[in-house]
Amino acid sequence: MSQQEEIIEMNKKYTYFSWSAQEAVAPIPVEKAKGIYFWDYNGKRYADFSSQLILTNIGHGDERVNRAITEQMEQVHYVQPGNITKARGELGKLLAEV
């Protein structure tokens, strides 16, 4: 199983996707983001026309923002609920264990 498939499986098992039929969701695992783009774990680049639900309209990876956030956020500022990150799946798994 690829890292991308593993992240999808973990997030579908341990997290909730808003505004979606849970079994039908087909999320994009976001590995990193910069400017108006984000990349999946296979290296495919996407233009982020919705600015991840308009939350990050300054663009991903802006140096002024990076100086003010944690090391985790260096990888990606935010992903809209239909996409996923490794950290989201890990948090969901930890919460399920509690």
pTM of the model: 0.61
pLDDT (mean) for 64-73: 70
Question: Distance between CA 21 and CA 27 in Å, rounded?
Answer: 12
Q: Mean pLDDT across the chain, nearest whole number?
A: 85
Percent of the chain past pLDDT 90, that is, above it, reads 44
Mean pLDDT of 16-41: 91
Give the contacts of 41 (CB within 8 A, at least 6 positions apart). 2, 3, 4, 7, 29, 31
Contact 60, 33 (CB under 8 A): yes
Compute the distance between CA of residue 65 and CA of residue 25 in angstroms, rounded to an integer. Answer: 31
CA 90, 20, 83: angle at the middle one, nearest 5? 45
**In the predicted structure, residue 44 carries a pLDDT above the cut 90:** yes
What integer is the mean pLDDT of 9-37? 91
Q: What is the pLDDT of residue 61?
A: 77
Quick one: pLDDT at residue 67?
A: 75
Question: What local confidence, expressed as pLDDT, does residue 83 receive?
Answer: 86
